[in-house]
């Protein structure tokens, strides 16, 4: 056995994040670690990577007991980690990022040419093509992930921890990555895969270990289980049967009319004459490869970006050029695409994060009504199953999925006629996904208008009544729910004509 983690327990005061966890890994094996948000997966891997120390238990690598006080200790033992949010220097070249800390020298100077040659050889050896001279900032997300993997391979990693590796990838990039993982495993590299995407786990892992409430519920061979069985192990219950009722949409709530947004210095438009309508009682999905105008569209319809030309109408009111606050007052709730950049204040408490945007209704004479706040926030936390130590817990101590559920609960509580749901289930487990999807459909069935932007085609297909595809800042085509398939959407995402999808 290459790796054994025995009886790992991690306590934070009265909170037990890991409770006598056993985990093992064989050479050339892909072992997936799954569980709900807050189940203890990331804590366990931080312990293995030396970012945390266990309260109890031991780690054995290659038959030798090891203590990892820092990540450097773990790296020295052949363990590397690719975090969900990449640890790269965007202004550096690909080669500079990969060899950092192990730079080849010509005398006392960094030898860039030797570094590029070394990276070229390394990428060919492991079948992960990159351009050594390219700037990381100019590389797509999928290539940046390759750079991270090559970086840890260059450090001598025999065990690679991948934390939510497909969260920001396109379908083609996901397919490429999963094949690369299998290919590297055949070369003797072992992988620990943390993921919420059960179909990807089943298609790439040899074994799967399920954590729930910090404990191991079971370890199974991927070939002996399925998504339904894993879901039951993760959440401890049967998931509700999904049902999207047919509805007849009402009046237009959001109208985007011929909107153009120019790039920096008047370069190619980021949005080029985009028009769309979202009506009461419908979910309109926006699909597209990242960087094709989705973020700019979200910023336009939330008041965060001015348009060069065109018009935006919300609830019958012309809101073109108004502030984000005025968009809010016109009837907008906003689940942002980046929960940390746009949606929360990590250093503030759970309660403070929950009442953002609700201050007017939760205060009297300029003084916050603390009892009312506690009662309301407690109800939201209960309804969305947010796991937190208390309302005073700092938001940064919530898992990403629990932070996401808190934001969704907060925004849905506004009861507005229009909701932007941008990547609403990014990085959340299957139980949280069920809760968020139910909330969005409930709002739609009550007559709410929802604009859904998601990199997950399965989510777009599952929730949307209509689907628009953006390509290079333009609407490449529109599909009804009944006519849409992954193949048709993918074709439009690649720049195909809408007329050719039928």
The alpha carbon of 375 is separated from its chain's Cα centroid by a whole number of angstroms, namely 30
Please indicate, yes or no, if residue 336 is contained in any of the structural domains. no
Q: What is the 3-state secondary structure of 41-93?
A: HHHHHHHHCCCCCCCEEEEEECCEEECCCCHHHHHHCCEEEECCCCCCCCCCE
CATH of residue 60's domain is: 3.40.50.300
Residue corresponding to tokens 């809010």 = 328
Quick check: 266 pLDDT over 70?
no
H-helix or E-strand spanning residue 420: strand 418-422
Cβ neighbours, 10 Å, residue 129: 10
Q: Tell whether the model's pLDDT for residue 238 goes beyond 90.
A: no
DSSP string, 75-142: HHTTEEEE-SS----TTSBHHHHHHTTS--EETTEE-HHHHHHHHHHHHHHHT----TTSBGGGS-HH
What integer is the mean pLDDT of 15-33? 94
User: How far, in Å, CA of 86 to CA of 80, rounded?
Assistant: 13
Same domain assignment for residues 216 and 108: yes
Are residues 18 and 166 both part of a single domain?
yes
Beta strand pairing call for 309-314 and 317-318: antiparallel
pLDDT digits (tens, 9 = 90+) for 387-426: 887 898 888 888 778 889 999 999 999 999 999 999 999 8
Angle among Cα 488, 438, 339 to the nearest 5 degrees reads: 80
* Residue 166 domain flag: yes
| In contact, 113 and 133? CB cutoff 8 Å | no
Least confident range of 92-96, 321-325, 493-497:
493-497
Cα–Cα distance between 213 and 17 in angstroms, integer? 7
Do 215 and 292 fall within a single domain? Answer: no
Where is pLDDT greater, at 22 or 248?
A: 22
Residue 340 inside a domain? The answer is: no
Give the per-residue pLDDT at 389. Answer: 79
Q: Is residue 419 left, alpha or beta, with left meaning phi > 0 and alpha meaning psi from -120 to 50?
A: beta
Residues 82, 130 share a domain: yes
Same domain, residue pair 409 and 424: no
Going by C-beta distance under 8 Å and a sequence separation of 6 or more, which residues neighbour residue 237?
none
Instruction: Give the burial class of 420: count Cβ atoms within 10 A of its Cβ; 0-12 exposed, 13-18 middle, 19 or more buried.
Output: buried
Mean of pLDDT values over 176-198: 91
Residue 200 and residue 119 in one domain: yes
**Predicted pLDDT of residue 258:** 96
Residues 319 and 172 in one domain: no
For the chain, how many structural domains are there in total?
Answer: 3
Q: Domain boundary residue among 187, 204, 235?
A: 235
Residue 402, domain member (yes or no): yes
> What is the average pLDDT across 271-289?
94
Q: Are residues 397 and 436 in the same domain?
A: no
- The residue from 179, 208, 235 where one domain ends is 235
Q: 221 and 152 share a domain?
A: yes
As a whole number of angstroms, the distance between CA 309 and CA 293 comes to: 15
C-alpha to C-alpha distances, 209 to 31, 53, 56, 332, nearest whole angstrom: 7, 21, 20, 41
Task: Choose one of 399, 415, 431: the last residue of a domain.
Answer: 415
Predicted pLDDT at 501: 41
CA distances from 75 to 48, 56, 158 (A): 10, 22, 9
Residue 16, strand partner residues: 11
240 located within any domain: no
10-31 CB burial, b ≥16 within 10 A, e <16: beeeeebbbbebebbbeebbbb
Q: Is residue 341 part of a domain?
A: no
Residue corresponding to tokens 């094996």: 29
Q: What band does 23 get if pLDDT is binned at 50, 70 and 90?
A: very high
Q: How confident is the model at residue 240 (pLDDT cuts 50, 70, 90)?
A: low
Does 24 score more than 60 pLDDT?
yes
pLDDT at 337 over 50: yes
Q: What is the pLDDT of residue 175?
A: 85
The answer to whether residues 161 and 62 belong to one domain is yes
404/429 same-domain check? no
**For 428-476, what is each residue's pLDDT tens digit?**
878 788 889 999 999 999 999 999 999 888 899 999 999 999 999 999 9
| Residue at 44 is within a domain | yes
Which range (15-24, 118-127, 360-369) has the least confidence? Answer: 360-369
Residues 43 and 134 in one domain: yes
What pLDDT is stored for residue 343 in this prediction? Answer: 87
E-state strands within 190-289: 190-194, 207-212, 215-221, 252-261, 271-279, 282-287
Give CA–CA dist 235/291, Å, rounded: 34
pLDDT at 502: 37
Range of the domain at 386: 346-415
**pLDDT tens sequence across 65-102:** 999 999 999 999 999 999 877 889 999 999 999 999 88
Structure tokens at 394: 């700092």
Confidence of residue 124 (pLDDT cuts 50, 70, 90): very high
Predicted pLDDT of residue 496: 76
Would 426 be classed as within a structural domain? Answer: yes
């Amino acid at each position: 056995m290459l790796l054994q983690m025995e009886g790992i327990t991690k306590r934070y005061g009265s909170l037990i994040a890991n409770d006598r966890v056993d985990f093992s890994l064989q050479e050339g094996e892909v072992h997936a670690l799954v569980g709900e948000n807050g189940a203890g997966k990331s804590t366990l891997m931080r312990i293995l990577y030396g970012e945390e120390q266990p309260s109890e238990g031991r780690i054995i690598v290659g038959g030798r007991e090891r203590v990892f006080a820092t990540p450097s200790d773990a790296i020295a033992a052949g363990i590397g980690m690719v975090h969900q949010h990449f640890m790269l220097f965007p202004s550096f070249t690909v080669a500079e990022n990969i060899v950092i800390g192990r730079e080849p020298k010509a005398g006392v100077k960094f030898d860039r040419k030797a570094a590029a040659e070394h990276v070229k050889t390394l990428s060919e050896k492991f079948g992960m093509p990159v351009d050594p001279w390219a700037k990381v900032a100019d590389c797509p997300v999928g290539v940046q992930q390759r750079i991270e993997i090559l970086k840890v391979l260059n450090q001598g990693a025999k065990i690679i921890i991948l934390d939510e590796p497909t969260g920001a990838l396109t379908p083609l990039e996901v397919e490429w990555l999963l094949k690369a993982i299998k290919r590297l495993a055949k070369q003797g590299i072992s992988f620990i895969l943390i993921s919420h995407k059960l179909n990807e786990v089943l298609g790439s892992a040899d074994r799967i270990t399920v954590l729930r409430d910090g404990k191991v519920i079971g370890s199974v061979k991927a070939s002996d289980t399925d998504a339904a069985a894993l879901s039951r192990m993760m959440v401890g219950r049967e998931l509700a049967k999904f049902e999207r009722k047919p509805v007849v949409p009402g009046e237009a709530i959001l109208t985007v009319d011929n909107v153009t947004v120019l790039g920096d210095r008047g370069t190619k438009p980021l949005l080029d004459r985009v028009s769309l309508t979202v009506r009461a009682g419908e979910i309109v999905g926006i699909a597209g490869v990242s960087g094709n105008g989705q973020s700019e569209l979200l910023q336009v319809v939330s008041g965060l970006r001015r348009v060069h030309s065109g018009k935006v109408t919300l609830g019958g009111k012309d809101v073109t050029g108004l502030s984000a606050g005025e968009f809010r007052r016109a009837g907008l709730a906003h689940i942002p695409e980046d929960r940390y950049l746009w949606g929360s204040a990590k250093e503030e408490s759970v309660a403070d994060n929950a009442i953002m945007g609700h201050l007017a209704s939760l205060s009297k004479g300029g003084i916050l009504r603390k009892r009312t706040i506690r009662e309301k926030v407690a109800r939201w936390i209960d309804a969305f199953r947010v796991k937190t130590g208390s309302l005073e817990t700092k938001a940064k101590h919530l898992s990403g999925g629990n932070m996401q559920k808190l934001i969704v609960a907060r925004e849905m509580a506004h009861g507005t006629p229009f909701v932007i749901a941008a990547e609403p289930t990014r990085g959340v487990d299957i139980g949280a996904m069920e809760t968020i999807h139910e909330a969005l459909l409930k709002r739609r069935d009550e007559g709410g208008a929802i604009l859904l932007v998601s990199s997950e085609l399965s989510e777009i297909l599952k929730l949307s009544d209509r689907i628009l595809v953006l390509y290079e800042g333009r609407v490449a085509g529109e599909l009804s729910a009944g006519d849409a398939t992954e193949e048709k959407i993918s074709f439009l995402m690649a720049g195909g004509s809408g007329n050719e999808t039928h």
